[in-house]
Amino acid sequence: MSINLNQTGLRARLMLGAAAVALAFAGAANAETLRWARVGDALTLDPHSQNEGPTHTLNHHIYETLVGRSVDGTLTPRLATEWGISEEDDTIWEFKIREGVTFHDGTAMTAEDVVFSLDRARTPPSGMSALHAAVEEVTAVDDTTVHVRLSGPAPLYVQNLTNTFIMSKAWAEENGVETAPNFAAGEEAYSVRNTNGTGPYMLVERDPEVRTVLQVFDGHWGDAPAVTEIIYTPISEAATRVAALLSGEVDVVQDVPVQDIARLEQTDGIKVVRGPENRNIFFSYDMTSDKLATSDAEDNPFAKPEVREAMALSLDRNAIRQVVMRGESQPSAAPLPPFVNGWTEEMDAFGEPDYARAAELVAEAGYPNGFTVDLNCPNDRYLNDEAICQALVGMLARANIRVNLVSQTRSLHFPLIENWDTDFYMLGWGVPTFDSQYVFDFLVHTREGSYGSFNGTRYSNPELDAKIESIATMTDLDARDAVIAEIWEQVMEDRIFLNVHNQMLAYAMRDGITLDVHPENQPHMTTVTFD
Partner 1 sequence: MNETQKPRAPGRFAGAWDSDIAYSFRHSPVAVVAAVVSLIIILAAVFAPLIAPYDPFNPASLNLMDGFTPPMEPNAFTGNVYWLGTDNQGRDVFSTILYGARISLFVGFAAVLFAMTLGITLGLIAGYRGGWVDSLLMRVADVQLTFPSILLALLIFGVARGFIPPAYREIMAIWVLIVAIGLSDWVQYARVVRGATMVEKNKEYVQAARVIGAHPVKILLRHILPNVMGPVLVIATIGLALAIIAEATLSFLGVGVPPTQPSLGTLIRIGQQYLFSGEWWILLFPSITLLALALAVNLLGDWLRDALNPRLR
| Residues numbered 451-510 forming contacts with partner 1, rule: CB under 8 A | none
Give yes or no for residue 397 binding partner 1 (CB under 8 A).
yes
CA distance 423 to 416: 9
Q: Smallest distance, Å, CB 223 to partner 1?
A: 38
Contact region for partner 1 (CB under 8 A) — 3-11, 108-116, 186-194, 404-412? 404-412
Q: Smallest distance, Å, CB 139 to partner 1?
A: 46
Contact region for partner 1 (CB under 8 A) — 72-80, 83-91, 201-209, 400-408? 400-408
* Of residues 191 and 329, the one with the C-beta less far from partner 1: 329
DSSP β-ladder status, 401-408 and 371-378: parallel
Give yes or no for residue 406 binding partner 1 (CB under 8 A).
yes
Among 374, 465, 486, 494, binds partner 1 (CB under 8 A): 374
Contacts of 219 (CB under 8 A, 6+ apart): 102, 104, 106
Beta strand ranges found along 250-400 (DSSP E): 252-253, 270-285, 329-331, 371-378
Q: Smallest distance, Å, CB 352 to partner 1?
A: 13
* Of residues 147 and 326, the one with the C-beta less far from partner 1: 326
Give yes or no for residue 299 binding partner 1 (CB under 8 A).
no
| Residues numbered 232-291 forming contacts with partner 1, rule: CB under 8 A | 237-239, 242-243, 246, 257, 259-260, 262-263
3-state SS class at 238: helix
Give yes or no for residue 387 binding partner 1 (CB under 8 A).
yes
Among 114, 118, 203, 324, binds partner 1 (CB under 8 A): 324
Q: Smallest distance, Å, CB 319 to partner 1?
A: 4
CA distance 124 to 138: 16
Q: Which helix (H) or strand (E) holds 215?
A: strand 211-216
Give yes or no for residue 398 binding partner 1 (CB under 8 A).
yes
* Of residues 303 and 388, the one with the C-beta less far from partner 1: 388
3-state secondary structure 374-432: EEEEECCCCCCHHHHHHHHHHHHHHCCEEEEEEEECHHHHHHHHHCCCCCEEEEEEECC
Give yes or no for residue 316 binding partner 1 (CB under 8 A).
yes
Output the DSSP codes for 50-109.
Answer: ---HHHHHHHHHHSEESEEE-TTS-EEESSEEEEEE-SS-TTEEEEEEPSS-B-TTSPBP
> CA triplet 105, 107, 113: central angle to 5 degrees?
110
Q: Which of 82, 75, 172, 40 is nearest to 118 (CA)?
A: 172
* Of residues 333 and 396, the one with the C-beta less far from partner 1: 396
> What Cα–Cα distance (Å) separates residue 498 from each residue in 27, 56, 397, 422, 431?
47, 26, 16, 16, 17
Q: Smallest distance, Å, CB 446 to partner 1?
A: 25
Give yes or no for residue 184 binding partner 1 (CB under 8 A).
no
Give yes or no for residue 421 binding partner 1 (CB under 8 A).
yes
Contact region for partner 1 (CB under 8 A) — 173-181, 191-199, 204-212, 387-395? 387-395
Count Cβ atoms below 10 Å from residue 407 Cβ, excluding itself: 17
* Of residues 170 and 406, the one with the C-beta less far from partner 1: 406
Among 404, 419, 475, 529, binds partner 1 (CB under 8 A): 404
* Of residues 91 and 407, the one with the C-beta less far from partner 1: 407
Q: Which of 160, 138, 161 is nearest to 66 (CA)?
A: 161
CA distance 72 to 65: 18
Q: Whole-angstrom distance between the N-terminal and C-terminal Cα of the chain?
A: 53
CA distance 273 to 76: 23
Give yes or no for residue 320 binding partner 1 (CB under 8 A).
yes
Give yes or no for residue 379 binding partner 1 (CB under 8 A).
yes
| Residues numbered 189-228 forming contacts with partner 1, rule: CB under 8 A | none
Give yes or no for residue 37 binding partner 1 (CB under 8 A).
no
Q: Smallest distance, Å, CB 390 to partner 1?
A: 5
Q: Smallest distance, Å, CB 394 to partner 1?
A: 4
User: Exposed, middle or buried by CB within 10 Å (0-12, 13-18, 19+), for 364?
Assistant: middle
The site for partner 1 (CB under 8 A) is made up of: 237-239, 242-243, 246, 257, 259-260, 262-263, 293-294, 316, 319-320, 322-324, 374, 379, 386-387, 390-391, 393-398, 402-407, 421
